[in-house]
């Protein structure tokens, strides 16, 4: 496909036949991703899960434009992704805040780079600081905040730039279980208000079902899309749903799917002699 190609009636995000290979020392290239095709519709909350090492983060980095696919193409709003852009907001597992900037200045950072006038910049930043529950903490520095608070700042900073899609790479993975649950509820509240298009990476199956409209399950390396699971649970979602029969049925399906891939990965990584001994 050429850079001038345009899709008709395309979804918000369209990933088409993407592959990613890395050079290895003294051997054949390593295939991280192969034949990845998926769509994320406008205002949809899509989640990607899969066994460890399946390429989830690599796929998100491709969408962010931080690395280029070996094959295939990625389109956002009908435009081919060919590098980073302000139309994609990233929230990482690590907080990636500037330690020398206050909460207010961290949230304003992208707006300042975009040369948004100071008064407007402050108003936008304040709105999102209030939305993530950090009103009164504007003048504090990251070292004065808890992990959950720092991740709230990172989320506010990404939202303040009004990206076309929010890319989230296990953003709550470093948090304790209680803080993680609170952050999930906060994200659900914000999404319910804004209906921002989201592509979310997680290894937590409960989290994926609680948050997502659609879950893509990846295979073990090389990562492919094994199946897509529609989440029919009503919104707004709450933690009370975690024990419902409908929730548990979806969880069992995804758990079995990922477990099968994890076992396949372990089997293929054994030395040849070990594989021969297995009946």
Q: What is the CATH number of the domain that holds 206?
A: 3.40.50.300
The Cα 59–Cα 54 span in angstroms is 10
If one counts the domains in the chain, the total is 1
CA distance 206 to 213: 13
Is residue 186 domain-resident?
yes
How confident is the model over 146-178, as pLDDT tens digits? 999 999 999 999 999 999 999 999 999 989 999
Nearest partner of 228 among 6, 15, 7, judged by Cα: 15
User: Which one, of 56, 57, 51, lies nearest residue 264 by Cα?
Assistant: 51
**What pTM did the predictor assign?**
0.89
* Average pLDDT score, the chain: 90
In a domain, 21, yes or no: no
Residue 9 lies in a domain: no
Domain assignment present for residue 261? The answer is yes
Q: Is residue 74 part of a domain?
A: no
Contacts of 60 (CB under 8 A, 6+ apart): 48, 167, 169, 199, 201
Domain contains 5: no
What residue numbers bound the domain in which 259 lies? 43-66+83-268
Separation CA 171–CA 173 (nearest Å): 6
- Give the confidence band of 6 by pLDDT, cuts at 50, 70, 90: very low
Q: Is residue 31 part of a domain?
A: no
Q: Is residue 22 part of a domain?
A: no
What is the tens place of the pLDDT at every residue in 64-98?
A: 999 999 999 999 999 999 999 999 999 998 878 99
Q: Is the pLDDT of residue 247 over 50?
A: yes
């Amino acid at each position: 496909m050429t850079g001038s190609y345009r899709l008709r009636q395309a979804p918000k995000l369209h990933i088409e036949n993407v592959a990613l290979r890395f050079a290895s020392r003294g051997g054949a290239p390593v295939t991280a991703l192969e034949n990845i095709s998926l769509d994320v519709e406008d205002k949809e909350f899509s989640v990607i899960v899969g066994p460890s090492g399946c390429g989830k983060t690599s796929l998100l980095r491709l969408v962010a434009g931080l690395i280029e696919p070996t094959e295939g193409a990625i389109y956002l709003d009908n435009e081919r992704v060919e590098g980073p852009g302000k139309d994609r907001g990233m929230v990482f597992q690590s907080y990636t805040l500037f330690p020398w900037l206050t909460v207010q200045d961290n949230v304003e950072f992208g707006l300042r780079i975009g040369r948004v006038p100071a008064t407007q910049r402050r108003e936008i930043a304040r709105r999102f600081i209030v939305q993530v529950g950090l009103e009164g903490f504007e003048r504090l520095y990251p070292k004065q905040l808890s992990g959950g608070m720092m991740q709230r700042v990172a989320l506010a900073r990404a939202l303040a730039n009004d990206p076309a899609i929010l890319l989230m790479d296990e953003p709550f993975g470093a948090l304790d279980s209680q803080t993680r649950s609170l952050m999930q509820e906060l994200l659900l509240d914000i999404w319910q208000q804004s209906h921002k298009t989201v592509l979310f990476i997680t290894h937590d199956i409960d989290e994926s079902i609680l948050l997502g409209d659609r879950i893509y399950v990846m295979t073990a390396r090389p990562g492919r899309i094994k199946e897509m699971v529609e989440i029919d649970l009503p919104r707004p979602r709450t933690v009370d749903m975690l024990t419902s029969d409908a929730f548990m049925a979806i969880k069992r399906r995804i758990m079995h799917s990922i477990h099968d891939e994890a076992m396949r990965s372990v089997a293929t990584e054994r030395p040849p002699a070990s594989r021969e001994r297995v009946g």
